């Protein structure tokens, strides 16, 4: 009687490993994390199933979606190599692709990803809820660790618990004025020059 051949015992499952290999995210020497609400437009942004995304005219009379986008375009003019990452609830709703369609084509072309992407983080409710509850600075820091840019900056109005060690990476906005504020525009230009300047110095 022949011996029963047993199949090899399956390897122990590594519970720390993800279900699938996450793709290597795109990176750049200088990545600027860009929030939308409170940066490119007033912070009073809402969503309605029929109306879609809109700015409350009750809370922010006279304001419109993406009204301050041209300030970002102007600040980046001298830095063609700077790449952008979407750092906003717009990554979840309406989603990265649809969010980018709202932007001018030249600006859109600079984007290399978002801090949240359904294909990377999965779209199940737990993953979405977990991301939403993660502080903004940590959403960004987690992306920095994945993407590993040489330098990074963040343009955001969600700055309450921003850690001291990352303050130099932050250009903080007031959600009511965003990039329309001259101080913010100047600080963004200064920090772009500071970080892009480091690259030029090391390249030379």
The distance of closest approach from Cβ of residue 150 to Mg ion in the complex, given in angstroms and rounded to an integer, is 26
- From 32-40, 94-102, 181-189, 192-200, span contacting Mg ion (CB under 5 A): 32-40
Counting contacts by CB under 5 A, is residue 157 touching Mg ion? Answer: yes
* Spatial distance between the Cα atoms of 162 and 165, rounded to a whole number of angstroms: 9
Rg (CA), the chain: 21
Rounded Cα distance, 51 and 133, in Å: 26
Cis peptide, bond prior to residue 94, ω within 30 of zero: yes
CB of 43 to Mg ion, least distance (A): 6
CA 61 to CA 95: how far, in whole Å? 26
Nearer to Mg ion, 174 or 199 (CB): 174
To Mg ion, the closest distance from the beta carbon of 35 in angstroms equals 4
Nearest residue (CB) to Mg ion, 28 versus 45: 45
Q: Is the peptide bond before 64 cis (omega within 30 degrees of 0)?
A: no
Closest to Mg ion by CB, 30 or 88:
88
**Is residue 38 involved in binding Mg ion (CB under 5 A)?**
yes
Chain contacts with Mg ion (rule: CB under 5 A):
35, 37-38, 157
């Amino acid at each position: 009687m022949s011996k029963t051949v047993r199949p090899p015992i399956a390897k122990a499952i590594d519970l720390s490993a993800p279900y699938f290999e996450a793709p290597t995210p795109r990176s750049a020497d200088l990545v600027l994390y860009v929030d939308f609400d409170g940066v490119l437009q007033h912070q009073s942004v809402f969503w309605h199933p029929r109306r879609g995304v809109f700015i409350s005219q009750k809370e922010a009379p006279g304001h419109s979606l993406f009204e301050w986008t041209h300030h970002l375009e102007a600040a980046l003019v001298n830095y063609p190599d700077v790449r952008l990452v979407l750092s906003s609830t717009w990554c979840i709703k309406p989603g990265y692709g649809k969010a980018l369609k709202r932007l001018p084509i030249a600006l859109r072309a600079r984007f290399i990803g978002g801090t949240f992407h359904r294909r990377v983080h999965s779209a199940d409710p737990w993953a979405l809820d977990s991301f939403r509850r993660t502080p903004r600075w940590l959403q960004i820091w987690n992306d920095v660790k994945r993407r590993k840019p040489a330098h990074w900056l963040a343009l955001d109005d969600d700055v309450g618990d921003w850690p001291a060690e990352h303050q130099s990476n932050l250009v903080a906005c007031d959600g009511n004025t965003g990039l329309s504020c001259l101080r913010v525009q100047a600080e963004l230009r200064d920090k772009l020059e500071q970080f892009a300047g480091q690259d030029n110095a090391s390249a030379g």
